[in-house]
Structure 1
Amino acid sequence: MADRFAISFHETFSLSRPSLAPILENAKRKGALNRQFFVETSLGTNYQKAMPRYAFRSGLLDKRNHLTVFGRYAADFDPTLDKPATQWLLHYHLAAPHGPTAFWHHLVRKRFLPGNTFTTDDLTADLTGFLSDTAGKAPAPRSIRSTVTIFTGTYLKMDGLRQIGLLEESGSNTYRVPAANSPPLWSVGYALAEYWHAHYGERLTINLDDLTQGDFAAVFLLGEEGLTQLLIQLKQEGMLDLYRIARPYQVVLLQPSLEYALQKMYQM
């Protein structure tokens, strides 16, 4: 099992969608990512280490290098990972609070607020403090700086997640979170089902505030009103129900299947 507090998985490379694509193709063709992939691929040695780890941490592969449900649908319907909805889910899995990359969630939760600006030094201090508090010690400053670079690079590079517009440069070593783009409806639908399963298991009903005022909304850079509007749309689509007569308002998940949302997302 991957160490949730490890930061060296990236081998100094940001996430690269063109490098994840052959991993998806190999895992689809072979049933799981296998050793032959590393013989056939043109990826360099460190890339061969980093990109499968990204595939796992971004929700495409499971711990045994098999395609996840999301990975299987992406391989079938978006093998180049170009669609915005797919890229939002790569971001979601990297930043999910229960995911395998704890520091990613911490940095997104703290800094990715629409209109917020911050610097490389801010992220370095955030990451150092987070690892000191949660893992008991922080890695060497060089490793911290490298991780900050790959984190920002993932959202700034065109072969990463720049298309979904979560981060932009506003000066030397300074970044700005632009006004939030509303994520595609069914990427939120899939993420809701995945988040619900991870945090609430088989529960049928939860408080609306648990979603709109907590980690789930924050990962999508949504305020209470923005997420509520998307949930209303998902209600209209039959995925959930909302009870807003008296507080605490309730959400009922009617369609907990990840495949249900993915079929809608890829318009099957």
Structure 2
Amino acid sequence: MEPIENVALSYHRGFGLVRTAVASVLRSYSEGYTRAQIEAESKLGPDQFTAAAIYCERSGLTIQGKLTDFGLTVAENDATLSESTTQWAMHYFLSNPALNSPNYWAMLTLNGLPLLGQLSQARISEDIVNYAQEVSGWQPSDRTVKSGATAYLATYAKEEGLGSLGILEEAEGRSQYTVRQPRALSVGSFACLLADYWQRHWPDRADVLLEQVTQGELARVLLLSENKVNDLLGSLAAPDMALVKRQRKHLPYQIIRQPSLDVTTIWQTHLYR
């Protein structure tokens, strides 16, 4: 692999995602304030504010100070970011390898979370170092690596972050974490995330191989088994949703996108359905 730009390991300033802080930034953006205005009025410290503002963007809620379609829907329906539906989508945007590449967060999700078992901060730190060296030939400092590991683990282990998804559980006082079977992803959430993923990866395709969805990167990012993805696709293919069709009469099996699986409208129509 050719070396590329350094991996961004400290954009979060070492803080895990704190939903109250991110929600505050989102609310201010929705009211038309600029980042400078929000920062001037914020009660957060400078580093905490920077982390919250960047998490707001990296979790798909804003882009260049404007609310995305996802962010607009969240601002209208879940301003406190407390719904698991919202949090799964935030996790998806944080962990999508196609976004903010090279994305160390995505690497950690894809390599560590699908395997139920134990994770340690030392293991996460080692993975970060190896990734930075692989993609950019960069040897980050111990402090930078620790910051990146702490932010990732705190986000999924603490209730103030995305802890209610049930992905990680911290073993008290040991810097050890157990990867759990997480809280279920709703059909509406999956519909929105499939639409977004499809548009990013197969924008000119009306059909893809079934295994590209059931066994591919999207399923791994969302920590879904092949059987669970098939169940969700069955719901999307049902007459009351009709977002996809499944071709399973002859090989290779395919998923066919319907016009209603439209990323520009589906957030409003299906996220909190």
Q: TM-score, normalised by structure 2?
A: 0.92
Letter of the structure 2 residue corresponding to residue 24 of structure 1: L
Greater mean alpha carbon deviation, residues 52-61 or residues 134-143: 134-143
For residue 265 of structure 1, report the CA deviation from its aligned partner. Answer: 2.1
Q: Is 1:90 the counterpart of 2:90 in the alignment? A: yes
Could you say which structure has the higher helix fraction? 1
Q: Could you list the runs of 5+ residues in structure 1 that have no partner in the other structure?
A: none
Using the alignment, how far apart are the partners of 1:10 and 1:227 within structure 2? 32
Tell me how far 1:143 sits from its aligned partner.
0.8
Aligned partner letter, 1:164: L
Distance apart, 1:114 and its partner CA: 5.0
How far is the alpha carbon of 1:261 from its aligned partner?
Answer: 4.3
1:14 paired with 2:20, answer no
Alignment match of 2:190 (pick from 188, 191, 200): 188
Aligned to 1:72: 72
TM-score of the pair, normalised by structure 1: 0.93
Partner Cα distance (1:57, 1:231) in 2: 27
Does residue 124 (structure 1) correspond to residue 125 (structure 2)? The answer is yes
Residue 146 of structure 1 is matched in structure 2 by: 147
> C-alpha offsets along residues 119-173 of structure 1, whole Å, 9 cap, x if unaligned?
1111111111011001221310111011101100001111100111111123512
Partner amino acid, structure 2, of 1:230? L
In the alignment, which residue of structure 1 is the partner of 2:108? 107
Could you tell me how far 1:257 is from its partner in structure 2? 1.8
Partner of 1:219: 221
* Structure 2, unpaired ranges of 5+: none
Return the alpha-carbon distance in structure 2 between the equivalents of residues 159 and 262 of structure 1. Answer: 26
Aligned match of 2:203 in 201, 204, 213? 201
Residue in 1 that maps onto 2:252: 248
Provide the aligned C-alpha RMSD in A.
1.6
1:114/1:221 contact within 8 Å kept: no
- Per-residue deviation, residues 52-80 of structure 1 (Å, max 9, x unmatched): 11111100011x21100001111111111
Cα pair 1:88 1:164 within 8 Å, conserved: yes
Residue 42 of structure 2 aligns with which residue? 41
Aligned residues: 263
